Amino acid sequence: EVQLVESGGGLVQPGRSLRLSCAASGFTFDDYAMHWVRQAPGKGLEWVSGISWNSGSIGYADSVKGRFTISRDNAKNSLYLQMNSLRGEDTALYYCGKDLGGAPTRGFDYWGQGTLVTVSS
């Protein structure tokens, strides 16, 4: 059974940093691209970032480019999102998603339950 478990969310002040993690199990992690998708309270889904199976292809939404960094550790079956210079508009539930393929292009066939990030003073 595929499982994606996010962690690392919490309350953080504007301008500070936070690192999210996603622990994957139930599939061959290093065969698939992975993504972060967020959803602000009461709002729609927003794609944040994606990374290919070998970290060779990485993309970011314009809204986080230069502030967020996605990475993965295939030996630990884990995905990460380093979030710097956080803003109030980054407040959201952050989902980890598994891509259908090895490149971050095809969409998400499995999702975690999300970790909540609240940016507020």
Q: For residue 36, state whether it binds other proteins (rule: CB under 8 A).
A: no
Q: Determine the distance from the C-alpha atom of residue 23 to the mean position of all C-alpha atoms in its chain, rounded to a whole number.
A: 11
**Span of 8-16, 19-27, 44-52, 84-92 interacting with other proteins by CB under 8 A:** 44-52
Q: Binders of other proteins among 65-84, rule CB under 8 A? A: none
Q: Which residues contact 78 (CB under 8 A, 6 or more apart)?
A: 21, 22, 23, 24, 72
Give yes or no for residue 9 binding other proteins (CB under 8 A).
no
Nearest residue (CB) to other proteins, 27 versus 111 = 111
Residue 98 CB burial class (10 angstroms; 0-12, 13-18, ≥19): buried
Stretch (H or E) spanning 53: none
Find the binder of other proteins among 57, 71, 82, 91 (CB under 8 A): 57
Q: Is 106 in the site for other proteins (CB under 8 A)?
A: yes
Handedness of CA 61, 35, 100, 39 (dihedral sign): negative
Sites of contact with other proteins (CB under 8 A): 35, 37, 44-47, 50, 52, 57-62, 95, 100, 103-109, 111-114
